[in-house]
Every structure is written in structure tokens, then in C-alpha cells.
């Protein structure tokens, strides 16, 4: 029997799973790492860290499963980040990640060069820091010597796949998150690149998520333990891949994901236009597929922060939070630790805890962080619904879906039921399903989802009393941003000067 491998390149770790064709997880491995922040507001990483993590994971897996039994490999990756390579395919400088906030000047310049019609009708997304194009323009403006040596700009998972097969490609879903892609036509936006004076040659050709994209080279086989010639498929951005891994691929379906960042994503059969430009519309895993999403920048990251501040693991904080009441005894946490995307699109905002008192303890603060992330995701959800997108049940995903308490908090805050797939590594499973479709093990990604994805029996229904209480807190949460944003923005500026 052939097995399928799925690789998920995240912000804080790389994960690999190997599953059989019915979705049974045979073996898995992960490798954690930290991104660099040499200046407050910067997010960078040496892409070699990802490659070494990938090698380490396969070196752990291969002795357990046998390289010859892996029939295909798919990829999921953190979106928006930029990997800069020279003519010899060597890194020119560290990669700039999706959570980077340095490119404010470049974004302002882009807004003067690109017409509102182009931004609205072609890019279909707001101009925001951390996306590939403003990061590339920052290098052009601030590191001209480095920019002069750049010959290829890749997204993170595309760099990893290049290291395995030597082929330079991207896919529609990941490329659509660069601010250089025509969302409706699903191709690079040549008009935008010309206007910004960026060579088209820097950007790779794009294919569908399940398209064959190369084979493991002899050198990569020596580095990883994989079998030379093992086929690779293109893969996709992590939002698309976790949706596939949750079986959410049809219009009228949605996911709510809590990873390092958080997203609410609705599937659609056409590109949803938002005149306010405070959501994102990206391409799906193939032609004629799109999704619209709202994103909060610091979801699981907020729990990591409070764990560092108070000491203790996520599991310990989860147990603590169970001791606190709904509403955390009058606390409001605003999870703007890395700025915020939806609905504010404000990279210069900082986080805040409102309502601290002598009664504030570890349990209440931990629960307030969980609730604050849920309020932020509810804003994302309501904004998407205002564009006509609907879903009766949301599929919860990511690390946050491993906490029954956080799942119940979400259901209570949103006022809608949540269900959970019966696997943990949703993006990895999505990547493996894409691999199966690409090598012909499944007839299509849809067929792979039908065969692989199953759900837990428990459905998380909202508690009416808690929902009513959370509605009061949610009203204050939205008001708190309006009342406090000027102070929080000025604090962010002062903090970057420290």
C-alpha cells in the first residue's frame, strides 16, 4: 500500500504526517523554531531553518515507514512571506514573513501608484504589510545592493519544495496572497508589476494545488532519507490546505481556524468583491474556486504570549481558564500583539487588557485571552456574512480546536454550532489529500475529502446564557477599539523607538 505525506510549513513549526489512502495517520513528526525580530515590528527568518526542520522530520519518519512506501508528497505553507534568491538560488537576505510590519512607506507609495479600480477589481485585497510585494519593495528601497542580486522571489512553501525537487513553481492560492496577482483571472497581474517597476521574471509560474510539481532529487534524497524520484505536488497556502483537511471545499461551507494567527474562511464559486477592502478574497485550490476570509494576526500567538508572561504551557493555561467564569470577571483582551488585519487593517495597533483589578488572577487572564481571540474572529465572521456569505455550521480548526473549553467559548461567542474533524493536523492532511489527487490515488481533491475526512461526534452548541453575556462584552470590545486606538497606536510607535 502506498502512503501520502503532507508537509505544513508554519510560522513557529514545521509538521509532517504520513497517512494511508483512507486517512489513517501512520506516523508524524514536527520541529519547532522561532522567527527573528531584529527590530520591533519586524518578522524575519532564514529559510535554511525551514529546510533543516524538513530534513529532521523526514529523517525521523523514514526509518519508521520506509521511503519506498511514500507515493507522493504535498505541501501547505504560511502565506504572504517573501524568500529572496539570487541567480544561484542562494538566499540574498532573510525571508520577510507575513507578520512583518515594516513596509508602511511602501504601502503608501503603492496606494499612490495603483488606481482604486486596480486595487478593488484586480488585486481585490487591501494593501497590507507582510505581503510579498510591499516586502520586496522595502528591500528595493532600503537594501538596493541586496535587491540588485534578487532573481527569484518565492513563497515559503515553494522554497521548501524547490529544495526537494529543484523546480521553481507556485500555485494559485498562495500566489493570490502576494498583492501581485489578478484574483479573477488567476494569473500574475502584469499591469500591477509594470506600474511598480517589478520584473515579471522574479515571479514563478503558477499551477493548481494538485498539479505535479517535480520529483525528489538525488541530493534531497540524501538529505532527507526520501526516495529519489518521489513525486511532489504544488500544494497551497495554509488556509486552503486546512480547509481541504477539514473537508470544507464547497460554497456555503466555512472554517474558523486558530493557529498562530486566526482566520474565518467562507468558500465561494466566484470572487467576492468587498468595496470596504477589509476582508481578503483569495484563489482556491483550482480554477474557478475562491474563498473570502477575515484574519486576526495574534490568535494562538496570544496564548503563547500569556504563557510566556505568566509561565506555563498551553495545557496548563487551558486548565486554569476553566476555573474562570464567562466574561473572565470583567476583563477584555484585545489581541493586537502584531497589529490587526480584519476589520481594522492596522499594523500599528498594539494589544490591551481592559478591566484589570486586584481580583485578576491567572485563570481570569488566561480565559480573557481566549475570549478576546474569539471576539476578534466574530468580527471577521460578521464582516464576511455582511457580504452575503453564509454557513450553518462552522468547522473549527488549528491548535485552538484541541481545547474543548476554547471550542465552547467560540460557540458561545459566535452563537453558532461548531464541529471538529477527527484529526489534528488539518493542513498536513489537506496537503496529503492534494498529493493523492496529484498522483492519481484519488480521482480529485473532492474524492480525497470524501474518503479521508470524518468528524467528531460531539457538536459544540452555543450556551444561550453565555451567548447573551458575551454579546454585552462583544459590544464593549468593539467600542474599546474606537475609544483606545489612538493611545494604542502611539504606544506602538513609542515601543518601536525603544
Q: List residues with catalytic annotation.
A: 238
What does R_g of the chain's alpha carbons equal in angstroms? 22
Closest CA to 86 of 133, 50, 39, 139: 139
Q: Is the C-alpha dihedral spanning 212, 422, 364, 331 positive or negative?
A: positive
Q: Is the C-alpha dihedral spanning 157, 47, 299, 490 positive or negative?
A: negative
**H or E element, residue 487:** helix 464-497
Residues 6+ positions from 157 with CB-CB distance below 8 Å: 7, 9, 75, 76, 77, 78, 174, 235, 237
How many helices (H) and strands (E) would you count in the chain? 17, 23
Torsion, Cα 174 10 74 223, to 10 degrees, reads 120
**H or E element, residue 161:** helix 156-165
DSSP classification of residue 402: G
Distance CA 346, CA 81 (A): 18
Q: Is the C-alpha dihedral spanning 353, 408, 282, 28 positive or negative?
A: positive
Residue 249 in contact with residue 88, Cβ under 8 Å? no
Q: How many residues does the chain have?
A: 498
The order of strands in the sheet holding 290-296 is 280-283, 290-296, 262-268, 254-258, 394-397, 418-420
| Peptide bond between residue 343 and the one before it cis (omega within 30 degrees of 0) | yes
Output the CA angle 411-416-417, nearest 5 degrees: 70
The grid cell for 397 is 480548526
Amino acid at each position: 500500500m502506498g502512503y501520502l505525506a503532507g508537509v505544513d510549513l508554519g510560522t513557529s513549526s514545521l509538521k509532517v504526517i504520513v497517512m494511508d489512502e483512507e486517512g489513517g495517520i501512520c506516523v508524524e513528526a514536527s520541529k519547532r523554531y522561532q522567527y527573528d525580530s531584529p527590530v520591533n515590528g519586524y518578522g524575519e527568518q532564514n529559510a535554511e531553518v525551514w529546510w533543516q526542520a524538513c530534513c529532521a522530520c523526514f529523517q525521523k519518519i523514514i526509518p519508521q515507514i520506509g521511503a519506498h512506501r511514500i507515493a507522493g508528497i504535498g505541501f501547505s505553507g504560511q502565506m504572504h512571506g517573501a524568500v529572496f534568491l539570487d541567480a544561484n538560488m542562494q538566499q540574498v537576505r532573510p525571508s520577510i514573513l507575513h507578520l512583518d510590519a515594516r513596509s508602511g512607506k511602501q504601502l503608501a507609495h503603492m496606494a499612490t501608484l495603483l488606481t482604486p479600480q486596480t486595487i478593488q477589481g484586480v488585486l481585490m485585497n487591501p494593501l497590507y504589510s507582510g505581503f510579498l510585494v510591499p516586502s520586496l519593495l522595502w528591500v528595493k528601497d532600503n537594501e538596493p545592493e541586496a535587491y540588485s542580486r534578487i532573481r527569484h522571489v518565492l513563497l515559503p512553501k515553494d522554497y521548501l519544495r524547490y529544495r526537494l525537487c529543484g523546480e521553481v513553481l507556485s500555485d494559485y492560492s498562495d500566489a493570490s496572497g502576494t498583492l501581485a496577482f489578478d484574483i479573477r483571472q488567476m494569473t500574475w497581474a502584469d499591469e500591477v508589476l509594470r506600474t511598480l517597476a517589478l520584473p515579471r521574471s522574479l515571479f514563478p509560474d503558477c499551477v493548481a494545488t494538485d498539479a505535479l510539481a517535480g520529483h525528489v532529487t538525488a541530493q534531497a534524497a540524501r538529505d532527507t532519507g526520501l526516495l529519489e524520484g518521489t513525486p511532489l505536488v504544488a500544494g497551497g497556502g495554509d488556509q486552503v490546505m486546512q480547509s481541504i483537511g477539514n473537508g470544507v471545499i464547497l460554497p456555503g461551507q466555512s472554517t474558523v481556524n486558530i493557529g498562530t494567527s486566526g482566520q474565518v474562511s467562507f468558500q465561494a464559486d466566484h470572487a467576492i468583491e468587498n468595496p470596504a477592502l477589509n476582508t481578503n478574497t483569495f484563489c482556491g485550490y483550482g480554477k474557478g474556486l475562491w474563498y473570502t476570509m477575515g484574519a486576526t494576526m495574534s490568535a494562538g500567538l496570544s496564548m503563547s504570549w500569556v504563557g510566556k508572561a505568566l509561565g506555563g504551557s498551553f495545557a496548563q493555561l487551558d486548565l486554569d481558564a476553566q476555573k474562570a467564569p464567562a466574561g473572565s470577571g470583567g476583563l477584555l483582551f484585545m489581541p493586537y500583539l502584531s497589529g490587526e488585519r480584519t476589520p481594522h487593517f492596522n499594523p500599528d495597533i498594539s494589544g490591551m487588557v481592559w478591566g484589570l483589578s486586584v481580583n485578576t488572577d491567572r485563570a481570569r487572564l488566561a480565559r480573557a485571552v481566549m475570549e478576546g481571540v474569539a471576539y476578534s474572529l466574530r468580527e471577521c465572521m460578521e464582516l464576511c456574512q455582511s457580504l452575503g456569505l453564509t454557513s450553518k455550521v462552522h468547522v473549527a480548526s488549528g491548535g485552538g480546536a484541541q481545547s474543548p473549553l476554547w471550542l465552547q467559548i467560540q460557540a458561545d461567542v459566535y452563537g453558532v454550532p461548531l464541529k471538529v474533524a477527527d484529526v489534528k493536523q488539518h493542513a498536513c492532511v489537506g496537503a496529503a489529500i492534494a498529493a493523492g489527487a496529484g498522483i492519481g490515488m484519488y480521482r480529485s481533491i473532492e474524492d480525497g475529502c470524501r474518503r479521508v475526512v470524518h468528524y467528531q461526534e460531539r457538536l459544540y452548541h452555543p450556551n444561550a446564557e453565555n451567548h447573551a453575556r458575551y454579546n454585552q462584552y462583544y459590544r464593549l470590545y468593539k467600542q474599546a477599539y474606537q475609544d483606545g486606538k489612538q493611545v494604542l497606536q502611539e504606544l506602538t510607535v513609542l515601543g518601536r523607538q525603544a
